[in-house]
Structure formats: C-alpha cells, structure tokens
Amino acid sequence: MQVYLPIAELSVNLFFLVGIGGAVGFLSGLFGVGGGFLLTPLLIFSGVPAPVAVASVTGQVVAASTSGALAHYRRGAIDLHLALYLVLSGVLGAFGGVATFALLRDAGQLDLVISLGFLVLLGSVGVLMLVESTRAILKQRKGVVVRERLPNQHNWIHGLPMRVRFKKSRLYISVLPVLIIGLFIGFVGSLLGVGGGFIMVPALVYLLRVPGNVVIGTSLAQVVAMMAATTILHAVQSQSVDILLAFCLMVGGTAGAQFGASAGKYLRGEQLRGLLALLVLAVAIRFGLSLVLAPADVFSMAVTGAAQ
C-alpha cells in the first residue's frame, strides 16, 4: 500500500515504513537506545531527502524515548534536576545545530558532514564499547570477579567552579561539565538526527559518575525534552518535518521497542553492549566507506528553492 508523504513529496510503501520503524524499534528496545542513528541512514539510503529524514526522525525519537522515560519516571529513576540542566543547555545546542544544518544544506556539504559526524562519533563510541564489553566478557569467562568502579569517586572535572548539588544522583559537582555535555549533545543530535543517548550514557557514567540506577532514566528524559524542542526548531527553520513519515515510524518503532525490550531479558548486559558496539561500528564503517570509496555517480543535484 503506497502512502504519499506530503513534505518529502514522494510516495512510499506504508508497510516498508512501519517495517523499518519496527525493526529499528526492536533494536532500540533491545539495547535501550533511541535508534535515530540507524533510522536516519536507512531513510536516506531508501530515497528520502536527507533534510526530511533528519527532521522527521527527530520526531520519531521523541516517541521512541517517551515510553521508556515514563517507565523510569514511575520507578523514580530520573534525576529531574540534572535533566533540567542538560535540557536547557541541550536546547541551546540544538539552536546552533539547526542553524548549522541550514547553512550546510545551502552550501551542499550537509551529506559530507553527516557522514563524517556519524563516522567519528559512532566509530569512537563503538570501539570504546566493544573494548569494554569484550574485556568484561573475557574476565567473566576466566572467573574473575569484576569490581564495578565506584560511582562516587571524584575526578578533576567535578572540582571546577559553580558547584551544584544533585540530590538524586548524590553528586555535588560543578555545573560546567553538565552544561558542556548538554550543549554538545544538543548540537550533534539536531545536526545528525540522533537522540544522542549513546553519547549521553557514557558521558554521564564516566565523566560525571552518575549512579547507574538514574543514568538511563535521566538520559531518556533529556532525549525526550531535547528532541521535542529540536523537532519544533526543524519545523520552524527548515519546514522539513514530515508528520506522516514520522507517524509511520513512530507506530512501528513503539511496537517494535516493546518486543525488543522483552527479547533483551535473555541476554546479559555485557553481551548486549558487545552486540550494540558491533552494530554501531557497522554503521560507522558504512559511512566511512561512503566517504572513501569512489561514488557510483560523482554528480548529484538538489533543489535550492522555488523560482521567483
């Protein structure tokens, strides 16, 4: 069944859209990530214009993260105070990201920056995660008891000025690294159409030493609020949010996420992280190859505006 997307101005098979939404939703439920980093490239490869793909996936990420964020909220696993700081700086970053997005699109370098951004981010995060999870798996095989790093250990980042007390996270740290993390993720997320959960979680754990029980919830809450703001920014700035496209992806995504979450119970944490690392690396390599390999067609075209 074909459905006409009014903003993308092309007609796509409805089941294909709901299907990739569902497949990515399954993976995002399995690994506890938003799935934007998979969905945006998939849409671009299937012919949706890159600006429309990035802007519409932003809306989908909101839906994908909402049910998770609500579940964590009910369990009291969100540090709202910390999330507020992250969201405020994140929205500021998103303003910059959306403006840069428009500039790059006009200059014809948006695809390049998207590819480079995905390559660098996913590549480094993927390698780090793979090393960490392999080490954990190997240690467990040998029967070594893995001693978790204590979350309350301080490092130099905490000692910066402007300290704020975050009760739920049991932290009394400088607000500067929090704001910088938020700003960076807001910028990158709006530019690449990803929620940034895969950067946020490691940053909270390793840089801020946020305790494990509030990390995922806080990250999800931050993703929901920041991506909601980004969706509106994209709608206002570039008018490339396709609500029909986003809705099809949302429906598939939220359903798939539930199945993914129940499938995730059969795998252990480090195995999950190892698999996610491989997936992230695969996407990074795909983008890397597209930069290095000679393209099938060196010419491309784009519409820059309606005629006067």
Partner 1 sequence: MSRLLALLACLLVFAAPAQAERLVSQVSNETIEITSSFAGERMNFFGTIIPDAGSSDKFVTGPFHVVVVVLGPTQNRVARKMSNVLGIWLNTEQVEFNNFPSYFHVLSSGRLTDITDVTTLTTNLILPESHTLAASGSDWWKGAVFGRELVRLMTEQGLFGVQENGVNFPADNFYSARLTLPSNAPPGPYIALTYVFKNGEIIARKSEGFAVRKIGFERFLAQSAVQQPFFYGLVCVILALFTGWLGGVLFRR
Which residues are at the interface with partner 1 (CB under 8 A)?
1-4, 6-7, 9-11, 59-60, 62-68, 70-71, 108-109, 111-112, 224, 228, 231-236, 239, 241, 243-244, 246-247, 250-251, 254-255, 257-258, 262, 290-295, 297-308
- Supply the minimum distance, in Å, between the C-beta of residue 193 and partner 1: 14
> What is the C-alpha to C-alpha distance for residues 39 and 253, in angstroms, rounded to an integer?
10
In a 3-state reduction of DSSP, which class is residue 127? Answer: helix
- Supply the minimum distance, in Å, between the C-beta of residue 134 and partner 1: 29
Strand-strand pairing, 2-5 and 10-13: antiparallel
- Supply the minimum distance, in Å, between the C-beta of residue 99 and partner 1: 15
Q: What angle do CA 181, 241, 115 make, to 5 degrees?
A: 55
Strands (E), 152-213: 163-166, 171-174
Nearest to 228 by CA among 69, 108, 14, 33: 69
Strands (E), 148-219: 163-166, 171-174
Does an H or E element contain 226, and which? helix 212-237
> What is the C-alpha to C-alpha distance for residues 85 and 68, in angstroms, rounded to an integer?
20
73 vs 92, beta carbon nearer partner 1: 73
2 vs 124, beta carbon nearer partner 1: 2
150 vs 298, beta carbon nearer partner 1: 298
Distances (CA, A) of 165 to 83, 86, 169, 173: 13, 14, 9, 7
- Supply the minimum distance, in Å, between the C-beta of residue 301 and partner 1: 5
- Supply the minimum distance, in Å, between the C-beta of residue 209 and partner 1: 29
278 vs 291, beta carbon nearer partner 1: 291
266 vs 299, beta carbon nearer partner 1: 299
- Supply the minimum distance, in Å, between the C-beta of residue 288 and partner 1: 10
Q: How many CA atoms lie within 13 A of 108 on its CB side?
A: 6
200 vs 220, beta carbon nearer partner 1: 220
- Supply the minimum distance, in Å, between the C-beta of residue 231 and partner 1: 5
Tokens representing 249? 């992806």
253 vs 274, beta carbon nearer partner 1: 253
27 vs 136, beta carbon nearer partner 1: 27
- Supply the minimum distance, in Å, between the C-beta of residue 17 and partner 1: 13
User: Among all chains, which residue has been given the structure tokens 């990803």?
Assistant: 194
Q: How many CA atoms lie within 13 A of 275 on its CB side?
A: 13
Is 111 buried (19+), middle (13-18) or exposed (0-12) by CB count in 10 A?
middle
